[in-house]
Structure 1
Amino acid sequence: MANYRRRRWRETMTVRVDLNGLLAAAVGAGGLAAEEVTGLEPELARVRDELAGRRAAGALAFAELPHRHDDVRRVLDVAAGVGADVDTLVVLGIGGSALGTRALLGALGDAAGGRRVIVADSIDPDAFGALLARIDPQRTLFNVISKSGETAETMAQFLVVRDRLLRELGAVDYKQHLVVTTDAEKGVLRQIVNDEGFRDLVVPSGVGGRFSALTAVGLFPAAIAGIDVEELLAGAAHMDERARAAAPLADPALALAGMLFLLASAHAKPIVVFMAYCERLAATADWFCQLWAESLGKAQDLAGRTVEWGQTPVRALGAADQHSQLQLYVAGPRDKVVLFARVEDHGVVVDLPTTYQDLEGVGYLGGHSLGELLNAEHQATELALAKCGRPSATFVLPAVNAFTLGQLLYLLETATVAVGALAGIDPFGQPGVEEGKRLAYGLMGRPGFEASRVEVEAWLARKDARFIL
């Protein structure tokens, strides 16, 4: 029986959120007073009921992902069908079609028996050209990911890859080296799949890119890398079940969302730092930055009023960034909340030798381990912030495995949507991103976007040469 099916193991691997560092009792005036927290509960109950209603109506698709078992079986079937001659998967995607996969691979990608997975989310010609030059098309599978099929960067990569595969493998065999992940019914990529007969996987309706890590977008590359995707989803389901059984202030995602919302809206904390004390979670911090920024950075609320709401996410890595960013967080503007991620069991023990015992500046380290030192650095940093009135919270992972990572991703997604509900904004749209796409289409000559090209050219013509130095 898999470990995640055992209740006692699930309990030992439950991810916790320590919110003490957000409270005034810990950090003084920079934190939340007890009456603010208790006064938040009715609003959190409202948000909980609102989200539950949307979920019941099928309008909160990401929330159901841990329970879509047929989707997982399809992913595993396609992964099992990848020939033994393939030793590398190259993911062609960008934004939410890449960052979730990077998070999964960064945390879990060293699985025994897994194949090499490369996420190619750059259209820098030097970087992409170098990648293509060093891979063997005969031994490489390409996973093209775009729900709309209109992502210019991904489609450009696809055109280059398809052309090379056609030339080197022929018009029949090249199709075996492509898997397309896209919308089930519509879009340019769906049309191409239908016309050319590529193997395909589906992005569920209603799930946007930044919420797609637990769909085929992230699960297929993860499965190829040897990650237990069923355990990953079991972890997400565990967090979902915990939340639904708890009171609002005992729901990890809802309580975190409420406190971060209060700190942003009532305590002038417009920046949130995600600082993982574990290199395997560094890519999770990158994924979180897109999730938080793109979901919550909105010009208008749901009533159409201008609010320009948002909390700017920043990625940091402990302990390295104690020596590059921490000075700002401790002594700079009081405009930040720090979210730590701490791992209790790092999985590897590297002992520190008892050497130079006569040198007090070094000898004290002997007899400890690198994991002890890293976790001590986290606790010391948490207190250093608190002593200066700077709020923080900590995600505590018993270990880094598929089960705990699934919990963390689902918790952060749910918290993001809950903050959106508290702020009265739509966490699922991204109109600011769409504007940039429209202008780029015009510059590249896409039919129907001629006015966009004119707009960009007029902007460039208005630039003052005196200030181009």
Structure 2
Amino acid sequence: MSPLPSAPGLDPKSQWQRFCSLLWHNSDLGFWLDVSRMGLDSGVLASLKPGFDKAFAAMAALEGGSIANADEQRQVGHYWLRSPELAPDAASGDHIRVEVDRLEAFGRDVLSGAITNGAGERFTDVLWIGIGGSGLGPLLMIRALQDPGAGLPFHFFDNVDPDGMRRTLASLGARLKTTLVIVVSKSGGTPEPHIGMLQARRAVESHGGNWSTQAVAVTMLGSRLDQEAAQGSWLARFDMFDWVGGRTSITSAVGLLPGVLIGSDIREFLAGAAAMDAATRVPELMNNPAALLAAAWFHAGDGKGQRDMVVLPYRDRLEVFSRYLQQLVMESLGKKLDRDGLEVHQGIAVYGNKGSTDQHAYVQQLRDGIDNFFVTFIEVLEDPGDIPPLEGENPGDFLDGFLQGTRSALTEEGRFNLSITLQRLNAHSLGALIALFERAVGLYGELVNVNAYHQPGVEAGKKAAAALLDLQSNLEQVMADQREHTLLDLQQKMGLESPEPLYWILRHLCANRRHIDAR
């Protein structure tokens, strides 16, 4: 690590002691967290202690099975997924264990060819249909853990963009007949995965495939999707749990099923998450890495999210991690109201990509521009052994040099930054990294008194979209008389305060030749 910058009137020895106190290290995990460059000092940490004492108690109650998501009257149990013995009742713990066993056996049999497409042909590809955390979690697993040639190649419907669907289906072509299609929807009623499922089924069957022997559902027991899969005799169904939110579902079937289908060790992934859970369960601020992380966020943003979180992982395999954290952090903490009903507009904006590529895109502003952020560097110490130095130049050395150089340049300008270091990147360390941020988000939510486990803004957007689709249906009925209509005429007939939504709908219909003349 580069040395701490000198500070006037501060003895170098005391600087080093402060640095050591703000460096958390766990040799068993091969994990370091350095928050020494986030402006934390003894006064700041002392002021945060009462808040953290309450936060630790709240997290212990959450893990014990209390109703942590009061708005929806739900427990919050993603921590039980990697430690079933902590589930508040034996039946839930057994259910978790059974699901992991089933997932592992299913993935093993698909990869070995024991499970085929019904025509005796081995599966060649996976088409994953999921939105939000049900898409980002699997994408992170695949990008971070899949080795070349291992497991099955994955393709995604993670949007309702018809052009994206067209391109994905075209890339599969005749292999749609040997493609395993996995549909993920916790409630079973989310429109996006349902629309994707309909398009996938049409494409599979048009290429001679058999939907029932190629389709897999990941959903809650008894949901609309679960019932459809049961009635249609789908190949397999795997359970999601009411007490696991989409953004924290990566250690459920949502992340484990992709893990087994790429040949990764999901037991190690779960073990890494469980080990970090244990480390972040310690009720002492200075000895808890998630608490140190949350304290750094709180101090940097004055407890109001006044600084953005810039995530810079210095490995291509972690390129998706910043997108994953966007949902985890922003959906959890971005809230208008606190638990007391006060208007607080909390949240931390998250953006980033990867170093060193993308430091050329925005490090100039990070160093010299507006000071409204803090950087999270993520490094991996061990390089792959099959990329040798050539002409005396080692790629890993340059990558590390760029990270340390950028870190020093930001520190020289007084810009907040923290560093997370992994000894190596594998299933175990990825599980630990995810668990660290999950706990930090939970603790920070307690510090600022928001419900980190609901998403009223997302639900409001879904309701608004549904209302506009209903409006479009009504508009098409009004225009079915084949007469010319003006916007004003349509507005009056439909009793709208403004013609604007009609204009937007008509513009889309006209662009796709689905219109009756309107002026």
Check if 1:149 corresponds to 2:188. Answer: yes
126 and 310 in structure 1: CA distance in 2 versus 1, 3 angstrom threshold: same
Q: Tell me if the contact between 1:144 and 1:154 (Cα under 8 Å) persists in the aligned partners.
A: yes
Q: Which residue of 1 aligns with 2:334?
A: 297
Encode CA deviations 1:96-116: one digit per residue, 9 max, x unaligned. Answer: 001011111111111664111
Match in the other structure for 1:364: none
> Does the CA-based 8 Å contact 1:111-1:226 persist in structure 2?
no
Specify the alignment match of 1:175 in structure 2: 212
Aligned 1:68-467 pairs, distance under 5 A:
68=84, 69-82=97-110, 83=115, 85-110=122-147, 113-135=150-172, 136-169=175-208, 173-185=210-222, 187-198=223-234, 199-245=236-282, 247-266=284-303, 269-348=306-385, 350-354=387-391, 367-445=392-470, 458-460=499-501
Alignment counterpart, residue 16 of structure 1, candidates 32, 36, 48: 32
Q: Separation in 2 of the partners of 1:151 and 1:420?
A: 27
Q: What is the alpha-carbon distance in structure 1 between the residues aligned to residue 195 and residue 304 of structure 2?
A: 45
1:217-237 Cα deviation digits (max 9, x unpaired): 111011101111111001001
Residue 433 of structure 1 aligns to a residue in which SS?
helix
Partners of 2:386 and 2:230 in 1: CA distance: 51
Deviates more, 1:415-424 or 1:132-141: 132-141
CA offsets 1:103-143 (integer angstroms, 9 cap, x no match): 11111111664111223213222221121123212210000
Contact 1:349 / 1:370 at 8 angstroms: preserved in 2? no
Describe how 1:26-45 pairs up with structure 2 within 5 A: 31-45=39-53
Q: TM-score, normalization: structure 1?
A: 0.85
Code of the residue aligned with 1:155 in structure 2: it is H
The answer for unaligned runs of 5 or more in structure 2 is 1-25, 67-74, 85-96, 117-121, 476-493, 505-519
Q: Distance in 1 between matches of 2:45 and 2:323?
A: 29
Contact 1:48–1:248 (CA under 8 A) maintained in structure 2:
no
Shift of 1:368: 4.1
Identity of aligned residues (%): 28
- 1-structure distance, mates of 2:162, 2:201: 16
Output the CA distance in 1 between the equivalents of 2:241 and 2:30.
28
- 1:211 Cα deviation from its structure 2 partner: 0.5
Q: Deviation of residue 455 (structure 1)?
A: 7.3
Larger proportion of helix: 1
What is the CA deviation profile of residues 354-380 of structure 1, one whole-angstrom value per residue up to 9, with x for unaligned ones?
4xxxxxxxxxxxx34111111111111
Residues 376, 269 of structure 1: alpha-carbon distance in 2 compared, 3 angstrom cutoff:
farther
User: Which is worse superposed, 94-103 or 341-350?
Assistant: 341-350
Structure 1 position 329, deviation (Å): 0.9
State the AA in 2 paired with 1:281: L
Whose relative contact order is higher, 1 or 2, with alpha carbons under 8 Å and at least 6 apart?
1
CA distance in 2, matches of 1:57, 1:327: 47
Q: Check whether the contact 1:103–1:283 (CA below 8 A) recurs between aligned residues.
A: yes
* Counterpart residue identity of residue 139, structure 1: T
SS, match of residue 329 in structure 2: helix
Contact 1:270 1:310 in 2 (8 A): no
Counterpart residue number, 2:480:
none
Task: Please tell me the residue identity of whatever aligns with 2:164.
Answer: A
Larger Rg: 2
The CA RMSD measured in Å over matched residues stands at: 2.5
Q: Distance in 2 between matches of 1:368 and 1:378?
A: 17
In structure 1, C-alpha distance between the alignment counterparts of 2:168 and 2:421, rounded to whole Å = 37
What 5-or-longer segments of structure 1 have no aligned partner?
Answer: 1-9, 23-30, 355-366, 464-469
Tell me how far 1:297 sits from its aligned partner: 0.7
Residue identity matched to 1:154 = P
- Residues 149 and 189 in structure 1, CA contact (< 8 A), matched pair in contact too: yes
Please give the alpha-carbon distance, in whole angstroms, between the structure 2 residues aligned to 1:299 and 1:259. Answer: 22
Q: Give the paired residue count.
A: 429
Please state how far the C-alpha of 1:334 moved relative to its aligned partner: 1.4
**1:15, CA displacement in angstroms?**
1.9
Instruction: Answer yes or no: is the 8 Å Cα contact 1:115–1:224 preserved in 2.
Output: yes
Q: In the alignment, which residue of structure 1 is the partner of 2:4?
A: none
State the alpha-carbon separation in 1 of the partners of residues 58 and 332 from structure 2: 18
Q: Secondary structure at the match of 2:405?
A: helix
CA distance in 2, matches of 1:251, 1:368: 39
CA distance in 1, matches of 2:215, 2:203: 12
Distance in 1 of aligned mates of 2:128 and 2:330: 23
Q: Distance in 2 between matches of 1:286 and 1:122?
A: 15
